[in-house]
Amino acid sequence: MNSAFKWYLRIVGSLTANTLGIIDRYTPEHRKFLSSGFVCAGCHATLINSRLMADVKCYGQDGVEVPIWKARAKARYFVCPKCSHRWEPRRVHEKRVV
Ligand SMILES: [Zn+2]
């Protein structure tokens, strides 16, 4: 991966972190992940796939893996596929009684 592309990712990531991130109540750790250009806080690998989506594993509330495109609605935590570093992308404020 060339450095210009990583630079581009940092721009996109920090824009996302500072706009959508505020609306979506991203955690500080997830904002850092975005604004660093999708760099894992654990192993410093750049986690991006060929479709320019975050190349992380997403898990839902019940511990079941969810597809990345459902992450916004369903993910409770992300896991780095390389070092298993785990973090929460969003604060969950609402506690609904099921
Ligand atoms: Zn990692």
**Tell me: the pLDDT tens digits for 80-94?**
999 999 999 888 765
Tell me the whole-structure pTM to 2 decimals.
Answer: 0.74
Question: What pLDDT does 78 receive?
Answer: 94
Per-residue pLDDT tens over the stretch 19-64: 766 667 889 999 999 999 999 999 999 999 888 888 999 999 889 9
Q: Residue 33: which of 64, 79, 66, 92 has the closest Cα? A: 79
Domain ranges of the chain: 3-87
Show the tokens assigned to 29.
């750790």
Taking the centre of ligand 1 as the mean of its atom positions, its distance from the CA of residue 24, in whole angstroms, is 23
Taking the centre of ligand 1 as the mean of its atom positions, its distance from the CA of residue 85, in whole angstroms, is 5
- With a CB cutoff of 8 Å and minimum separation 6, the contacts of 71 are 58, 78, 89
For residue 89, how many C-alpha atoms fall within 13 Å in the half-sphere facing its CB?
26
Tell me the percentage of the chain whose pLDDT exceeds 70: 88
Taking the centre of ligand 1 as the mean of its atom positions, its distance from the CA of residue 46, in whole angstroms, is 8
Q: For the residues 1-12, what does the mean pLDDT come to?
A: 87
Show the tokens assigned to 56.
């992380």
Taking the centre of ligand 1 as the mean of its atom positions, its distance from the CA of residue 18, in whole angstroms, is 23
